[in-house]
Amino acid sequence: MDGGVGGDNASAAAPLAKWRSDFSKAFQYYLDRSTPHTVERWLGTLAAAIIFVLRVYYVRGFYVVCYGLGIYVLNLLIGFLSPKDDPELDLLDGASLPTKGSDEFRPFVRRLPEFKFWYSITKAFVVAFVLTFISVLDVPVFWPILLCYWIVLFVLTMKRQILHMIKYKYVPFTIGKQRYTGKKSSASSSTLPRD
């Protein structure tokens, strides 16, 4: 009889495992398809953030969830702005960023790529939104103190990151794609007489 009960659980788990696998494949398919659509992805994240902020505003609570979300986003931002190979650690190893024109060019590679940054922030807003439906997490706190503490933490962290950028002369942003034009034909070559 025990074999029959175990067999029922195994047969019930098989469709659930298949559904989870199918859902995972479909989710990954659409996630892969969204990769080149940077603006649309960030607009979707902005919409999720606005929905979260409106939920917190109308409920007038869950400030600890907001604070935790803010700390997590700050951590992600630091990873996004930091180079993959930290120059401070490279100095200990003997390698460093190029400082002269004759040194080898090394492009800026982020510790946290843009897509993973976007995905993590979006996931964080969705999870924080879901957490606002759990009443146990609505801890009564004086939210201005949390906000002031987060702002101080943000300013100090960004100051340290900006000083790091200045010290090692790297800029983590590129404005548009660089375009190189070929040689421009001179006016004299276009006016050569034909034979």
Residue 42: per-residue pLDDT:
95
Is the pLDDT at 174 greater than 80? The verdict is no
Mean pLDDT of 112-135: 94
Domain with 19 in it? 12-99+107-171
Residue 169: per-residue pLDDT:
78
Confirm whether 74 is domain-assigned: yes
Query: Which alpha helices (DSSP H) does 60-86 contain, by range?
Result: 63-81
User: Is-contact 112 79, C-beta < 8 A?
Assistant: yes
Is the pLDDT at 139 greater than 80? The verdict is yes
Residue 167: pLDDT band (50, 70, 90) is confident
Confirm whether 184 is domain-assigned: no
| Number of Cα atoms under 13 Å in the Cβ half of residue 152 | 6
Mean pLDDT of 90-106: 57
Confirm whether 176 is domain-assigned: no
Residue 15: per-residue pLDDT:
83
Number of folded domains that form the chain: 1
Confirm whether 67 is domain-assigned: yes
Confirm whether 6 is domain-assigned: no
Phi and psi torsions of 101, nearest 5°:
-65, -25
Confirm whether 4 is domain-assigned: no
Is the pLDDT at 172 greater than 80? The verdict is no
Residue 93: per-residue pLDDT:
57
Compute the distance between CA of residue 52 and CA of residue 55 in angstroms, rounded to an integer.
5
pLDDT digits (tens, 9 = 90+) for 33-62: 988 999 999 999 999 999 999 999 999 989
Confirm whether 150 is domain-assigned: yes
Confirm whether 1 is domain-assigned: no
| Contact partners, residue 111, CB within 8 Å, separation at least 6 | 79, 80, 82, 83, 84
pLDDT digits (tens, 9 = 90+) for 101-123: 555 556 677 888 999 999 999 99
Mean pLDDT of 125-152: 94
